[in-house]
Structure 1
Amino acid sequence: MGIPKGRRRIVVTVAALLVAGLAAVTVYRVLAPAEVVTEARGVRPGTVVPETGPIGRFSTAPLVVDGRLRVYATTRQLWADVPVDDRQRNTPYWSYRRWPAQLSGVVAGGTTVVGRWSDGQLVALDAETGRVAWRADAPPARAGYTGRRTGAATVWAPEGLHTATTPDGRTVVVVVGPDRIQGTDLTTGRRLWRVDVAADCRTDVGTTAAGRLATLDRCAGGPAVEFRDVTTGAVTQRWTPPGAGSELSVTPTGCATAHSSCTALQVAEPGAAGTARADGGRGWLLGTGDPVAAPGLDRAGTVLAGETGVGVSAEGVVTGRSALTGDELWRRADLGPGTRVVAAQPGRVHLLTGEKDLVTLDPASGAERSRFRFTVGRDGTGWTPGLSWAADGYLALERLRTPVDGSAGDQRYYAMAEPVVLAAF
């Protein structure tokens, strides 16, 4: 005998509900918000003193933290490997993954690594263990992950995410959102201040060595650079460069990682008939008061290294000038055409020649500190430098396909499968 018709309908309905329930559980497990922490195991990494020259090439951009480990970022993961001078990327020493939020920026201070996520969360990790040190709410970023294949923009120059030092020596994580700005204590995760601002009329610039946040404000009238105290969030100054028109762009220089602790600005103003000025605008030194004119930074492409503005002419002549006076301090004509400044850090300025030699100079004297071919294996020299990072005796650089096409996919944009080279000095 078969199952009665009415009972058969009940059985079919129950079976359909069970299938739907199992599907819902599966979807929830796959798509539900999640956090996966893989803590470090084994011996704490020691300090490394690498040999001068290229260390290795990588598919993702490393950020050296505490001189002991390398930190990397992808869309939903932040992780580290050791040792810092290994020629290749290794199995993660620790790893932190979130879903479905995306990683929009990373900053580090001491042994704390802070990730900013697209849902507005700040998550701080202990760099030695990978454990979560603290979590805090923060203004959401304008976008999620924007680091392309290497993650360089996320770990070297995240938009709207900086560190700054207060007069009493505390480190503050400064987060700039479309309509809100916040300061958070790096050590504890305690929110120090939060201010609401008019939406979408400010451009993030960076923090200064004097403990201020700089933004370009277009909210009312002509553009002005607005400075805020990173201890309180209060506006301490609004400054408009002399002769500024209705259009203005501001670029920080002399900065640490993530456009932090910057010591100068380069302000570009429109030239005749709205064209850009050929000299790149004007340079200004930053302190606690009004910015001070810095003629040594007026030329386009000049980088501030210490108290010296270092720039390269079209013919490849490298010149060091006093940032404050513009007086020439030294000149080198031996590096050849195609030379460009790619990075600077305290006591060092790094230049890449047309032949892809990486030359490190003392910015105060122009004396050569090191020189080597910036290639690994048989990669060749037919590429163009992209984003770069330099700190604590290390330098890393992206290699892009020539000619550079920023709108192209990653396979065309990058020069090779492992486009990032890490070197030591």
Structure 2
Amino acid sequence: MGFPRGRRRLVMAVAALLAVAVVAVVVHRVLAPAEVSTVARGDYPAAPRPAPGVIGRLPAAPLIVDARLRVYAAHRQVYADRPVDWRYRTTPFWSYRRWPAELSGVVASGRTVVSRWSDGRLVALDASSGRVLWRAAGPAPAEDDAVTRRTGAATVWDPRGLYLTDLADGRTVLVVTGAAEARAVQVADGRELWRVDLPGSCRSDVGTTADGQLIGLDTCAGPAAVEFRDAATGQVRERWQPPGVAADGLVVSPLGCRTGRSGCPAVRTAGPGDAGGRGWLVTGGEPMAAPALDLAGATVVGDQAVAVVDGVAVGRSARSGVELWRFDGLGPARVLAVQPGRVHVLTETNELVTLDPVTGAQLSRFTLNVGSDGTGWAPGAVAAADGYLAVERLREPVDPDGDDKRYYLTAEAVILAAT
């Protein structure tokens, strides 16, 4: 004996509503905005002092933080492992994940790791624990047509629109730019200092100076000019046009940056009528010509300009151009990266030579090889910090349009070395 027809229809309707409700709950739990913070359970590691040489190889680009941790970027996650000198990637020390936002960039200052997300959200994490220190709103990242590679190097080594700089009073400021807006927050607590509208596609970021300025290239209000904006107030201090350089086609590149495009003491300008480009020091007032930086491939670390010419590394005073030292016997080589107290030179055979920028003394020298991988590769993105150097290894001949399997030498494409 079954239900009467009317009651059967009611039961079916209730069952359908319950099914819809269950599906809605599941969909909400899966798709609703969320964040998952998995904090560290172990002790914050001490800073090791490994002997110079290749440490190991990694599948992802590490951001060295506080000489103790390696921080990595994933599609919707930022995470760290330890120890910093371990030969392989290890189980995460801590992890922070958001949904459905995507990770856009990561920077670090001391023990503070700041992540930027596709919705503009800024989230600062304590490197020693992975705990959230603060959250702040920021402009959404500008659209970028660049290919996102699997190592995440662009996200942690050169995050566009995310720049650190130090103020004269000791505060560290994070300047965040988007397609039409810039904001600045204090790294210590996330407090917003200012926000300004930007003109859009007729202006582009160059980076930040080492003394509290955001550098931009502005073509909106007439001839191209280099714009210096005060990171403490957001006010434009100066609009500068390099003498002797045609404004049309002006290109400005940062030099000697502390990390990515942050804390850069110099720039190189180039354009029609300016063969090879010209170097300029951009800290301490109006840009100052630095002929020692005019040479292609020259860079600056501290007060020294360094370049490799005909197999000889030459250090000069960045301000006066006076030669300070020479280091020969390199053969075909180039300056690969710099960091405080170190100049990293890579030879044609992928031998890494690290020199003291003040004296030119050799600090270490070894071949960038690990396991049976060999040295038949081309260097890609590179980062140097806290005495470490990490390099992407690309398959030769390099195919910039190839997929990741063709582009990289191996699945563990990043080689990490202590210098």
Question: If the length of structure 1 is used for normalisation, what is the TM-score?
Answer: 0.94
Once the two structures are TM-superposed, the CA of residue 317 in structure 1 deviates from its matched residue by: 3.8
Q: Determine the structure 2 residue equivalent to 1:379.
A: 373
Greater mean alpha carbon deviation, residues 209-218 or residues 142-151: 142-151
Output one character per residue of 1:252-271: Cα deviation in whole Å (capped at 9) or x when no partner.
Answer: 11210131111100011124
- Conserved in 2, the CA contact under 8 Å of 1:278 and 1:300? no
Superposition deviation, residue 421 in structure 1: 1.2
1:148 alignment partner AA: R
| TM-aligned CA deviation for residue 278 of structure 1 | 5.4
Percent identity for Structure 1 against Structure 2: 59
Query: Residue 118 in 1 paired to residue 103 in 2?
Result: no
**One-letter identity of the residue aligned with 1:268:** A
Contact 1:139–1:182 (8 Å) recurs in 2: yes
Q: How many residues align?
A: 417
Question: What does residue 87 of structure 1 align with?
Answer: 87
Aligned to 2:16: 16
> Aligned-pair distance for 1:6?
4.1
Deviation at 1:24, TM superposition (A): 2.1
Map residues 80-229 of structure 1 onto 2, 5 A cutoff.
80-143=80-143, 147-229=148-230
- CA deviations on 1:374-416 (whole Å, 9 max, x unpaired) are 1111111111001111122111111111122222211111111
CA–CA distance in 2 between the matches of 1:32 and 1:207? 37
Partner Cα distance (1:215, 1:248) in 2: 12
- The one-letter code sitting in structure 2 at the alignment partner of 1:262 is C
User: Using the alignment, how far apart are the partners of 1:146 and 1:159 within structure 2?
Assistant: 13
Counterpart in 2 of 1:249?
251
| Corresponding residue for residue 312 of structure 1 | 308
Deviation (angstroms), 1:151: 1.1
* Alignment partners' CA distance in 1, 2:336 and 2:272: 26
SS in 2 for 1:20: helix
Q: TM-score, normalised by structure 2?
A: 0.95
Task: Give the match for residue 70 of structure 2.
Answer: 70
Report how far residue 16 of structure 1 moved.
Answer: 2.9
Among 295, 310, 316, the residue aligned to 2:291: 295
**1:146–1:154 Cα contact (<8 Å) kept:** no
* Partner of residue 274, structure 1: none
**Stretches of structure 2 lacking an aligned partner (at least 5 in a row):** none
3-state SS of 1:222 partner: coil
Note closer, same or farther for the CA distance 1:333–1:51 as it changes in structure 2 (3 Å cut).
closer
Q: CA deviation at 1:88?
A: 1.1
358-367 vs 80-89, greater mean Cα deviation: 358-367
Deviations 1:261-297 (A, max 9, x none): 11100011124xxxxx652x11001123210111111
Q: What residue is the counterpart of 2:31 in the other structure?
A: 31
Alpha-carbon spacing, 1:230–1:146, altered in 2? closer, same or farther (3 Å): farther
Residue pair 1:248, 1:268 contacting (<8 A) in 2 also: yes
1:270 equivalent in alignment to 2:272: yes
Q: Classify the secondary structure of the residue corresponding to 1:14.
A: helix
Secondary structure in structure 1 of the residue aligned to 2:292: helix
Match of 1:403, SS state, is coil
Question: How big is the alpha-carbon RMSD for the aligned residues of Structure 1 and Structure 2?
Answer: 1.8
Does the CA-based 8 Å contact 2:143-2:179 persist in structure 1?
no
CA distance in 1: counterparts of 2:290 and 2:401, whole angstroms:
35
Q: Is the 8 A contact 1:184 1:191 kept in 2?
A: yes
Paired position in structure 1 for 2:55:
55
Q: Deviations over 1:137-175 (max 9, x none)?
A: 011111489652111111111101011111100011111
Match of 1:261 in 2: 263
Q: Which amino acid aligns with 1:92?
A: P
Equivalent residue of 1:216, what SS?
strand
What stretches of structure 1 of length at least 5 have no aligned partner?
272-276
Query: Which one-letter code corresponds to 1:283 in the other structure?
Result: G
Alignment partner of 2:70: what SS?
strand
Aligned to 1:398: 392
Asked if the contact 2:125/2:134 (under 8 Å) is kept, the reply is yes
Deviation at 1:324, TM superposition (A): 2.8
Equivalent pair of 1:116/1:122 in contact (CA under 8 Å): yes
1:321 aligns with 2:316: yes
